[in-house]
Structure 1
Amino acid sequence: MYEEVVRALAIDGTRFSYRRLRQPAPRTEPVVVLGGGFQGSHGWPHMEDRITPLTDLVTADLPGMGTSDPLPSGSDTTFMGRAIDRIIDDLGVPRINLFGYSYGAELAFGCAQRNPDRIARLVLGGVVSHTSPAQQASLREAADHLAVGDAEGFATVAARMQLCLDPGRHIPRRSLVYRYVKRSMLHVAVHVPNVMEYLRRSLISGPAFDGGLSGVPALVFTGEHDSITSPDRQREFAATIAGSRFVSIRDADHWVVLERAADVADLAVRFFTDQPVEPASYVADHGTGSERDVGPGRRVGPGN
């Protein structure tokens, strides 16, 4: 059984919070989870089920997410980075395990670059290291719908751009996941005050995944059918992290954390407790990336 503690913090007058589920006898460092855009502190039930028996789980309502204040106008990932560093300071522990998904992967990678000595292990999923012209066009279309108050049109475009809808790609419960994501995007359009600012920022500045990283054990994972940034491009990004590993999860796309939630939680537990990830049945092995070492001097690809 765990104790739940919610801590309220602020930076420059912007209020945000984090939620800590305490494990009285932890077997590894606390796990801090950073989710996708607008994903708040209560969006990780499968992680709770798997992580809390092992260690503390920390989820956040960062600025612009959940019940926190909106992200200040004109701010960027630097402001979000300050908020994340403030949470780590407040935890009062020497090191953490850090898990970042989608937009959260960008924030987590930046955090590890700033604080490599404070990150015991790093897991990054659905890394948006590159957006194609088609994705940029979808972002503009979504913004156009939002600008004229068409929440339904925004939600439709936003859901389609995040999911692989190719019927030739096997993704269980595709229709159910699409409805869930569209409903979530509709909620964002109606209830999140700074969603247009978020879209503008996404169009103007690309995600920050350059500069490399060393000294932090790292794992990068993706759904094998991720249509935002291809698994091959995510594997190329993983190769910029010294000694990292890359995993492609079968029968999933960018929303792998929903489509294969239990498997993602299992993968995180394995890595954060120094267990091998190779035996996992959900790891794809067909050229787009089974589990591999991708550090310097290591060849990546079939037969490795």
Structure 2
Amino acid sequence: MSASPAPTITRFHAEDRQIYWRAAVFPCRILTPVAATAGPPLLVLGGGLQTRHSWTRLEQRLAPHHPMLIPDLPPARAPGGPDLNWDDLTDAAISTLEQAGVQQTAVLAVSSGYPVGYRLAQQHPRRITHLMLFGASPKPAPRLTALIQQGLHHIDQTPCTPHPRARADQAEHLVALLTNPQAAAGNLLMRAAAKVLLQHLLSAPHDPLTAYIRDRGALLLDRPLPPGGISGVPTLVGVGEHDTTTTVADNRAVAATINGAELTVLDHCDHLLHMERDADFAGLVAAFLRPGTSAGIPGCTTETLP
């Protein structure tokens, strides 16, 4: 007689909730630990090529201990809809908190999610207990700027669906820009993360470049880093040592606008550090949410800026 399979232990519950904001409706994935927890929930604001379902590995490590909210904020340039700016998306994030009944939250904002997370802490500092920004830059790098401008031209001139070969070329171009192929030549995890991203883009139902531009790519040309800085919110800014999309210098410049921010540089990864070093990424987030610092994670260096 064969043994029965071991029962699956549910450590958190997941549900999708519809968020109503102005004339838009967008989903938010809400994760609730089974065991009682202390501390604030975590609001996750992903980048332009991520959805609420992009954080499975982080969920497995954090959701048993921290409630999590992962909204799919409205695209900034939806066909037939009004163009949105960074403040609009920040307001949509606040509506997410209000409709989820959350008064205070920690914020994890990655890549093009960072301008929204930054504005949340700047405009609503009493509601944000901790701020974590990964892959931040005062403005897009020249190669990314050129790609965004190319994408805007592509949307205006080519409203129809591109040929599959053209879609594949665009996906490969995006991956090559958002990763560091030269550094990845000697790093298996970096190559694997780039391959996963490429497969995701190729399997998506929409043209990847158009989707990226309409989501938040075009907004990156419009002051992703607002003036005025942040004070009174504990902040961690993180970056991969080989990140060429938002370099160490870029992230340091953003961190320098935040009073008392910590800057952490992770070895052996680039812009996809949350995929390449997922366990250490989750460890940094979990450690920062607890009293103390993020010290103790191997393969990274942390400094506190003035």
Query: What is the TM-score of this pair, normalised by structure 1?
Result: 0.85
Separation of aligned partners in 2, 1:200 and 1:40: 15
1:254–1:168 Cα change, 3 Å: closer
State the identity as a percent. 24
After alignment, is 116-125 or 53-62 more displaced? 53-62
What residue is the counterpart of 2:231 in the other structure? 214
Separation of aligned partners in 2, 1:279 and 1:260: 15
Amino acid at match of 1:156: E
What residue is the counterpart of 2:31 in the other structure? 21
Separation of aligned partners in 2, 1:87 and 1:203: 22
What residue is the counterpart of 1:97 in the other structure? 106
Deviation at 1:157, TM superposition (A): 1.4
1:189-208 C-alpha deviation (Å, 9 max, x unpaired): 43897544347724742423
Match of 2:180 among 164, 171, 175: 164
Match of 2:20 among 7, 10, 18: 10
1:181–1:273 Cα change, 3 Å: same
Separation of aligned partners in 2, 1:15 and 1:32: 18
Match of 2:195 among 166, 179, 182: 179
Separation of aligned partners in 1, 2:209 and 2:25: 15
What residue is the counterpart of 2:280 in the other structure? 263
Amino acid at match of 1:293: T
What residue is the counterpart of 1:121 in the other structure? 130
Deviation at 1:53, TM superposition (A): 2.3
Contact 2:269 2:277 in 1 (8 A): yes
Match of 1:237 among 229, 254, 259: 254
| Secondary structure at the counterpart of residue 103 of structure 1 | helix
Deviation at 1:180, TM superposition (A): 1.9
Deviation at 1:278, TM superposition (A): 1.8
1:70–1:34 Cα change, 3 Å: farther
Q: Which residues of structure 2 form unaligned runs of 5+? A: 1-10
Contact 2:225 2:254 in 1 (8 A): no
Separation of aligned partners in 1, 2:118 and 2:268: 26
Amino acid at match of 2:69: V
1:60–1:71 Cα change, 3 Å: farther
User: Looking at CA atoms only, which structure, 1 or 2, has the larger radius of gyration?
Assistant: 2
1:154–1:13 Cα change, 3 Å: same
Verify: 1:135 aligned to 2:135, yes or no: no
Separation of aligned partners in 2, 1:7 and 1:73: 23
Verify: 1:79 aligned to 2:96, yes or no: no
What residue is the counterpart of 2:5 in the other structure? none
1:199–1:20 Cα change, 3 Å: closer
What residue is the counterpart of 1:155 in the other structure? 171
Contact 1:35 1:100 in 2 (8 A): yes
Deviation at 1:141, TM superposition (A): 4.1
Amino acid at match of 1:152: A
Contact 1:145 1:153 in 2 (8 A): no
Separation of aligned partners in 2, 1:168 and 1:156: 15
| Secondary structure at the counterpart of residue 173 of structure 1 | helix
1:19–1:203 Cα change, 3 Å: closer
Separation of aligned partners in 1, 2:296 and 2:208: 43
Deviation at 1:169, TM superposition (A): 7.2
| Secondary structure at the counterpart of residue 182 of structure 2 | coil
Q: Which residues of structure 1 form unaligned runs of 5+? A: 284-289, 296-304
Separation of aligned partners in 2, 1:44 and 1:294: 29
Separation of aligned partners in 1, 2:103 and 2:217: 37
1:230–1:115 Cα change, 3 Å: same
Separation of aligned partners in 1, 2:217 and 2:102: 36
Contact 1:38 1:188 in 2 (8 A): no
Amino acid at match of 1:260: R
Deviation at 1:126, TM superposition (A): 0.8
Query: What is the TM-score of this pair, normalised by structure 2?
Result: 0.84
Contact 1:124 1:221 in 2 (8 A): yes
Separation of aligned partners in 1, 2:79 and 2:53: 18
The number of aligned residues is: 286
Deviation at 1:20, TM superposition (A): 1.3
Separation of aligned partners in 2, 1:71 and 1:7: 24
Separation of aligned partners in 2, 1:126 and 1:203: 13
Computed over aligned residues only, the root mean square deviation of the Cα atoms, in angstroms, reads 2.6
Deviation at 1:177, TM superposition (A): 2.1
